[in-house]
Amino acid sequence: MRRTNNQHWACSVLAVVIVSIMTGEVRGQMRGNNGSDFAIGKVMQLWFWEEHFPSLTISENPTWEAQIFSKDPLVIYIHNFLSAYEIEHVLQVSEGNYIPSMVYPGDDAYVDTAERVSISAYVPRDDVVRRIEQRARAFQGWRGNSTRLERLKTQKYAVNGFYNFHYDWDNLVTDGNRVTSFMIYLNANCTGGGTNFPKLKPPKDTRWCSVIDCEDNEYEGVTFKPIKGSAVFWENMYPNGTFHRGVRHASLPVKTGEKIGLNIFGWDFDWRPSQSSA
C-alpha cells in the first residue's frame, strides 16, 4: 500500500516525538564516590512501551544525578529526582486527600501518635504520576513481574511532626514485602525534619555535608537533609531476601516550618518469610 505525503509527514513527526521522549531521561547519570559517571542507559524505553504515550504532552524532564552513599546496606542519594513541575503537580493533586498517618504492623492499621505524627494522602494516578512511577521502576532495575510499586503517598509534617524509628519491611506479613524504598522531598521549608539512619556510618569526605547534617550531635549515624526535589533510595533486604537491619530510620521532628515528602515503595509479591530472618 502506498502512503500519501500526509501519511509520510505524520509518521516522521511521530518518530521524532518518540525519539525525543525516549532520550529525554537518558540525561540522568549515576555518580560514584570517586566522581566518575556511569550512564544509566535508555531507561525511557520501559516507560514508553508500558504506558503507551500517556506523557506526550509533558515536556519537562529532570536532569537527575545519583551518588552511592552506602553499599551495605545499599543507599543511594539522588539529586533533582523530581522536576519543579512534577513537585507542584503532586502537591496539588494531594490536597484534599490528607488523613492522619497510621502505623501498619501486619494486617493492622491505626493511628499511634507516640510513633507517628503527620498526615498522609494517596496520590491520584495520572500521566504525571505514572511518569514518576516509571522513573522509580527504571532506576532500580528490572526486577521481574513479581515486584510492583505501591500506590504513591505524600506525607505532610507540621511543627513537632515526626515518624519514630522503624523499618519499611514488616516481619509480621507472610505474603510479599517491601523490598525497596524512596524518600523524596517535595517541600522543605523547615528546620529539623531530616531522615536519620542510626546504623549508617558517617562518611569522612566533607563534600557529603551538602546533603547530610554533619553538625548533628543529637542523633547517631547519618541524617539526610530534606532538600526539595532530591531523594534517598535504599534496599530493604539482603540479596538472599533476609531483612536488612541497617536500614532502620526515622523522620526526625520538624522544629519550624513544614516538610512534605513522597514515599515510593517496591513490593515483591513472591517474597516469603521462609527466606527471611525474623
In tens, the pLDDT along 82-138 reads: 999 999 999 999 999 999 999 999 889 999 999 999 999 999 999 999 999 999 999
Kindly report whether the peptide bond that precedes residue 273 is cis, defined as omega within 30 degrees of 0: no
Residue-number span of the structural domain to which 143 is assigned: 5-275
CA distance 68 to 38: 12
User: What pairs with residue 118 in β-bridges?
Assistant: none
CA distance 73 to 118: 27
Q: Name the band, by pLDDT with cuts 50, 70 and 90, for residue 62.
A: confident
At 190, which CATH number?
Answer: 2.60.120.620
Burial code (b: 16+ CB inside 10 Å, e: under 16) for 101-131 equals: bebeeeeeeeeeeebbbbbbbebeeeebbbb
Please compute the mean of the pLDDT values over residues 139-168 and round it to a whole number.
95
Q: Name the band, by pLDDT with cuts 50, 70 and 90, for residue 189.
A: very high
Count structural domains, the chain.
1
pLDDT recorded at residue 60: 66
pLDDT recorded at residue 1: 47
**Cβ–Cβ under 8 Å, residues 231 and 184:** yes
Is the confidence at residue 42, as pLDDT, over 90? no
pLDDT recorded at residue 152: 98
